[in-house]
Amino acid sequence: MASLILTNNHTDTTLTKFINGVKRGSKTTADNYSRRLESFRLFVKQKYNLTLDELILTLTTYSSGPKIDPYELLSDYMDYINEQSNISPLTLKLKLSTVRCYLETFDIELSSKKLRYKVRMPRIISEDKEPLSKADVQTIINACPTLKLKTYVMFLASTGCRATEALSIKGRDINWNNNPVTISMDGRHTKTKKSFIIFLTKEMEQQLKLWIQYKHRRRDRSYY
């Protein structure tokens, strides 16, 4: 069988294809994957002097390039990340998961059992987190310097919405005729990609009306 010639000028078409596939599901996830795989690309270039395309060829075609053990590759990558910066075990796990997803997309099978034993990961320390008390929440809301920020923080506290979900709400999404007032969340802007209804408390309803009234207040302009 003829050997495949690997060139260092090869563009990472596999990476582009992988990111584009992820982007169809979520652009935010695709951006996160792209950043994580950039460090993996640099590691492969530094250790093996290969592009990611060449690495995929090496791992899937026995006759091309040096023989690379994928488990040893991932273990060395974890050491490489730890040497670069002191990051948390959770971040390490996310980086490993992203690289594994990329490799398996291009038919590089990785056994979960072997991965667990051959690529040792530091334990994730779980800490008990205490929720904020009602007094603490009130203190934070009252400390907001502007009416706009106060309305936003109060909305997050009373509804449990994610920050980006709250920012995606438009005037037409608010149904003032309902009792209590409701807000229709568009599934295109939610993390779960599912639409849902938010019920506002009386305090939040009054605060929202106050902000809208202030936003559309009459502004007098003076000219010299």
Q: State the average pLDDT over residues 183-205.
A: 89
Q: State the average pLDDT over residues 133-156.
A: 92
Residue 55 has pLDDT above 80, yes or no: yes
3-class DSSP string for 94-157: HHHHHHHHHHHHCCCCCCHHHHHHHCCCCCCCCCCCCCCCHHHHHHHHHCCCCHHHHHHHHHHH
Q: Name the residue ranges covered by the structural domains of the chain.
A: 13-118, 134-213
The answer to whether residues 149 and 157 touch, using CB atoms and an 8 Å cutoff, is no
pLDDT in tens, 4-29: 434 444 468 999 999 999 998 888 88
Q: State the average pLDDT over residues 91-113.
A: 90
Q: At what angle do helices 52-60 and 13-23 cross, to 10 degrees?
A: 100
The answer to whether residues 151 and 211 touch, using CB atoms and an 8 Å cutoff, is yes
Residues 6 or more apart in contact with residue 151 via CB below 8 angstroms: 207, 208, 210, 211
Residue 63 has pLDDT above 60, yes or no: no
pTM of the entire predicted model:
0.66
Q: Which residues pair with 79 in a beta bridge?
A: none
For residue 116, with 0-12 CB atoms within 10 Å meaning exposed, 13-18 middle and 19 or more buried, which class applies?
exposed
Assign 83 a pLDDT band (cuts: 50, 70, 90): confident
Q: Cα(62)–Cα(39) distance, rounded to whole angstroms?
A: 26
Q: At what angle do helices 89-105 and 70-84 cross, to 10 degrees?
A: 140
Residue type, 57: L
Which CA distances in Å does 153 have to 181, 206, 218?
Answer: 18, 14, 25
Q: State the average pLDDT over residues 89-113.
A: 90
Assign 33 a pLDDT band (cuts: 50, 70, 90): very high
Residues 6 or more apart in contact with residue 76 via CB below 8 angstroms: 43, 47
Residue 78 has pLDDT above 50, yes or no: yes
Phi, psi of 96, rounded to the nearest 5 degrees: -65, -40
Mean pLDDT of all residues in the chain?
A: 85
Share of the chain above pLDDT 70, in %: 92
Helix residue ranges per DSSP H, 160-191: 163-167
Residue type, 214: Y
Which CA distances in Å does 206 have to 110, 209, 213?
Answer: 55, 5, 10
